């Protein structure tokens, strides 16, 4: 299934994208993602009984997971990105966090006023579907609800001003996600997905999740050793090569620029940065 969140008269609603349009489930997204895989049977039941469909183009699309419990990110997780960054491949996943203030919807403008070194990062994002603690690599993908596009926007000057990346990573609206959460049953292999990023329409990132240093399953297993992962948590799994940080001239993002993330099966996520 392809799920999307949209703004209705009574607040946020969860929709299911099908060939005929969008089915309004009547459910708040939090009620679904907070239950994770337990909600899957209910959602599948709505598919057969739907008689009316919304026009997706007429909807005000929200972030696909509007209120994640935890937002975890993985740094330096593509081999070629580590090379372009001039850093050694990590021996274990490099974990850092963002907060809910960083969540942004598809098409939402992101303010970069007063910032100097804003960079884009196309990433595969995992949505957790079950409580995970000390899970094995072999079992880890069974805990995934689905996947979505993410843009892990970064302010490089702030990111490296200290030993902590946090301040350069979790600025307001610095994690656009969406437009869809595609359920895990439709993604047979998360380690074989094309990842593309278009800067002002020009292809800058063009890779595959096969280049990840740590697979999705390894990331979940590793993280669950140290913290409990819950339904509705999201993990952004790192970016491939092609970011501005890895270029020689380093022409940072400026107001008016757009960036589009396109990951195989997950649709297209575009956001504009403004002053």
CATH code where residue 99 lies: 3.90.850.10
Q: What is the domain extent for residue 255? A: 71-274
Inside any domain, residue 263: yes
Please tell me the pTM assigned to this model.
Answer: 0.97
Query: With left for phi above 0 and alpha for psi between -120 and 50, is residue 57 left, alpha or beta?
Result: alpha
Q: DSSP of 154-210, one letter per residue?
A: EEHHHHTSSS--HHHH-STT-EEB-S-EEEGGG-S-TTS-EEEEEETTEEEEEEEGG
Last residue of a domain, one of 12, 31, 58: 58
Residue 257 and residue 222 in contact, taking contact as beta carbons nearer than 8 Å:
no
Q: Are residues 52 and 85 in the same domain?
A: no
Q: Look at residue 19 in the predicted model and tell me its pLDDT.
A: 94
Look at residues 16, 35, 58 and tell me which one is the last residue of a structural domain.
Answer: 58
Instruction: Indicate whether 54 and 94 sit together in one domain.
Output: no
Residue 247 inside a domain? The answer is yes
Task: Identify the domain boundary among 58, 83, 102.
Answer: 58
Query: Which DSSP symbol is given to 58?
Result: G
Residue 85 lies in a domain: yes
64 lies in some domain: no
Q: What is the pLDDT along the chain (275 residues), one digit of tens a residue?
A: 999 999 998 899 999 999 999 999 999 999 999 999 999 999 999 988 888 999 999 999 999 999 999 999 999 999 999 999 888 999 999 999 999 999 999 999 999 999 999 999 999 999 999 999 999 999 999 999 999 999 999 999 999 998 889 999 999 999 999 999 999 999 999 999 999 999 999 999 999 999 999 999 999 999 999 999 999 999 999 999 999 999 999 999 999 999 999 999 999 999 999 99
The two counts, helices (H) then strands (E), for the chain are: 7, 18
On whether both 165 and 249 belong to a single domain, the answer is: yes
pLDDT of residue 51: 87
């Amino acid at each position: 299934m392809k799920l999307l969140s949209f703004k209705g008269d009574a607040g946020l609603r969860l929709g299911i994208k099908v060939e005929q349009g969008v089915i309004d489930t009547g459910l708040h997204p939090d009620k679904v993602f907070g239950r994770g895989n337990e909600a899957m049977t209910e959602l599948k039941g709505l598919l057969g009984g739907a008689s009316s469909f919304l026009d997706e183009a007429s909807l005000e699309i929200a972030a696909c997971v509007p209120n994640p419990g935890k937002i975890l990110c993985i740094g330096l997780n593509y081999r070629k990105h580590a090379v372009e960054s001039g850093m050694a491949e990590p021996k274990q996943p490099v974990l850092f966090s963002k907060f809910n203030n960083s969540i942004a919807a598809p098409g939402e403008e992101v303010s970069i006023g007063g910032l100097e070194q804003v960079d884009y990062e196309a990433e595969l994002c995992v949505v957790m579907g079950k409580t995970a603690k000390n899970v094995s690599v072999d079992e880890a993908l069974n805990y995934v609800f689905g996947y979505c596009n993410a843009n892990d926007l970064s302010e490089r000057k702030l990111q490296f001003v200290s030993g902590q990346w946090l301040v350069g990573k979790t600025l307001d609206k610095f994690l656009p996600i969406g437009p869809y959460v595609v359920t895990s049953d439709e993604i047979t292999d998360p380690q074989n997905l094309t990842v593309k990023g278009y800067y002002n329409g020009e292809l800058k990132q063009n890779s595959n999740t096969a280049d990840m240093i740590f697979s999705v399953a390894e990331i979940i297993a590793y993280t669950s050793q140290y913290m409990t992962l819950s339904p509705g948590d999201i993990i952004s799994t790192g970016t491939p090569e092609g970011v501005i940080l890895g270029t020689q001239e380093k022409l940072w993002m400026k107001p008016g620029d757009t960036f589009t993330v396109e990951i195989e099966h997950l649709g297209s996520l575009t956001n504009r940065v403004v002053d």
